[in-house]
Amino acid sequence: MTLQESRKKKGGGIKLIVIAAILIVLLGGGATGYKYYNYIFESNVITPDSTSTLLFIPSGASFSEVTDILKAEGYIKDIDGFEWVSQKKKYTNRVIGGCYALKHNMNNNELVNLLRSGKQTPVKVTFNNIRTLEQLAGRIADKIEPDSLKLQALLNDSSVITGYGFTKETFPAMFIPNTYEFYWTTSANKFIDRMNQEYKSFWNNKRVEKAKNAGMTPIEVSALASIVDEETVKADEKPVVAGLYINRLNKGMRLQADPTIKFVINDFTVKRILNKDLEIDSPYNTYIYAGLPPGPIRIPSIQGIDAVLNHKNHKYLYMCANEDFSGYHNFARTLQQHNQNADRYRKALRKNRIWR
């Protein structure tokens, strides 16, 4: 069937129901005729605050489930009219799951045409400041149809991970925090596939070239960016922190990054790293093992990644949180300077009775 033929067929269906409505009024007469006419053309949709609202119909839903949702949400005045028009337009056997934008005062003809067409309204999915894939699954499940357990299962599936060319340790790097548009009915597999496409798009030639100039792969950039993100929330400080760690890498020094220890002990809330923490044998312990950890210690932000790619060139090798607890750091070129900074910070911790 051609597009033109399809349009003619749809147009013919609309004309038939209009003609039927007119005949009902003319031939049926009285209250009965006008009842069916109103079923078709009288406004029947109510939305909160008289604005548009979103109707979510689960995949595989039956027509009775659709009517239950409409009644439960209070989106419709007369369910009988909606059911009558749905039967006449053969929607009862053509339910298509999805997210649909309802307009206040829509009539049944408009409503059924929308639902029958399957013309979904995309939903915006935003995620940032995410540490684990489990947290990501929970955030995404709030926005699209698959539940968090289904998403978590796939995010931890080794065959899925290796299928995209990652390892369990590096997989968090594939998820670039941003705002995306999805259809609500997007499956868990399709969500992950879309994230892989976005990852490839994000790592364009320009970014890949900058990574090479820094002596790193995109995965290594993401691993370092995750440390930078945990070290500071200050946007103006991130490129400085990134430059410091790159200096240490270039000199063959251990990173000795406290966020990697917090990752090892699985507690990012601690204010103070203890000596016993530094002795834990883990490939993520950058006090024991040289170089970058096996993968990101969190899902790195775009800001963090770009801070690494556009790091500041300086001679700093050491950093310590500022004793004013502002979130900024004191930087040093020598160990002697660093020890002085660290001593001030430890005194501030003791003064404020912060032991952990």
Give residue-wise pLDDT tens across range 107-129: 999 999 999 999 999 999 999 99
Spatial CB neighbours of 143, under 8 Å, sequence gap ≥ 6? 123, 124, 125, 182, 184
* Pairwise pLDDT comparison (11 vs 263), residue with the higher score: 263
In 3D, which of 96, 130, 135, 93 has the Cα closest to residue 114?
Answer: 96
258-300 pLDDT, tens digit per residue, is: 999 999 999 999 988 999 999 999 999 999 999 999 999 999 9
The answer to whether residue 341 scores a pLDDT higher than 60 is yes
168-188 pLDDT, tens digit per residue, is: 999 999 999 999 999 999 999
Is residue 263 within 8 A of residue 270, CB to CB? The reply is: no
63-101 pLDDT, tens digit per residue, is: 999 999 999 999 999 999 999 999 999 999 999 999 999
Is residue 99 within 8 A of residue 184, CB to CB? The reply is: yes
Tell me which residue has tokens 């500041």. 312
Is residue 45 within 8 A of residue 75, CB to CB? The reply is: yes
Q: How confident is the model at residue 240 (pLDDT cuts 50, 70, 90)?
A: very high
| Average pLDDT of the segment spanning 200-217 | 97
Task: State the Cα–Cα distance between residues 181 and 121, nearest whole angstrom.
Answer: 10
Give pLDDT, residue 11.
Answer: 47
Q: How far is CA 111 from CA 4, 41, 250, in A?
A: 24, 10, 64
Is residue 65 within 8 A of residue 96, CB to CB? The reply is: no
Three-class SS of residue 138? helix
The answer to whether residue 24 scores a pLDDT higher than 60 is no
Domain coordinates of the chain in residue numbers? 12-117, 123-202, 205-351
In 3D, which of 318, 300, 130, 133 has the Cα closest to residue 221?
Answer: 300
Task: State the Cα–Cα distance between residues 41 and 107, nearest whole angstrom.
Answer: 5
Give pLDDT, residue 330.
Answer: 95
Which tokens hold the place of 201? 């798009």
Task: State the Cα–Cα distance between residues 277 and 331, nearest whole angstrom.
Answer: 23
Give pLDDT, residue 19.
Answer: 57
Give pLDDT, residue 108.
Answer: 96
Q: How confident is the model at residue 3 (pLDDT cuts 50, 70, 90)?
A: very low
Task: State the Cα–Cα distance between residues 310 and 207, nearest whole angstrom.
Answer: 10
Give pLDDT, residue 20.
Answer: 59
Give pLDDT, residue 21.
Answer: 57
Which tokens hold the place of 54? 């979103």
The answer to whether residue 356 scores a pLDDT higher than 80 is no
Query: How large a percentage of the chain has pLDDT more than 90?
Result: 82
Task: State the Cα–Cα distance between residues 196 and 218, nearest whole angstrom.
Answer: 14
* Pairwise pLDDT comparison (27 vs 110), residue with the higher score: 110
Is residue 77 within 8 A of residue 107, CB to CB? The reply is: no
Task: State the Cα–Cα distance between residues 242 and 310, nearest whole angstrom.
Answer: 9
The pairing of strands 329-332 and 318-321 is antiparallel
The CATH topology of domain 12-117 is Dna Ligase; domain 1 (3.30.1490)
On average, the pLDDT of the chain sits at 91
Task: State the Cα–Cα distance between residues 332 and 302, nearest whole angstrom.
Answer: 27
Spatial CB neighbours of 351, under 8 Å, sequence gap ≥ 6? none
The answer to whether residue 27 scores a pLDDT higher than 90 is no
Give pLDDT, residue 23.
Answer: 54
Query: How large a percentage of the chain has pLDDT more than 70?
Result: 90
Give pLDDT, residue 8.
Answer: 46
Three-class SS of residue 299? coil
154-173 pLDDT, tens digit per residue, is: 999 999 999 999 999 999 99
Give pLDDT, residue 272.
Answer: 85
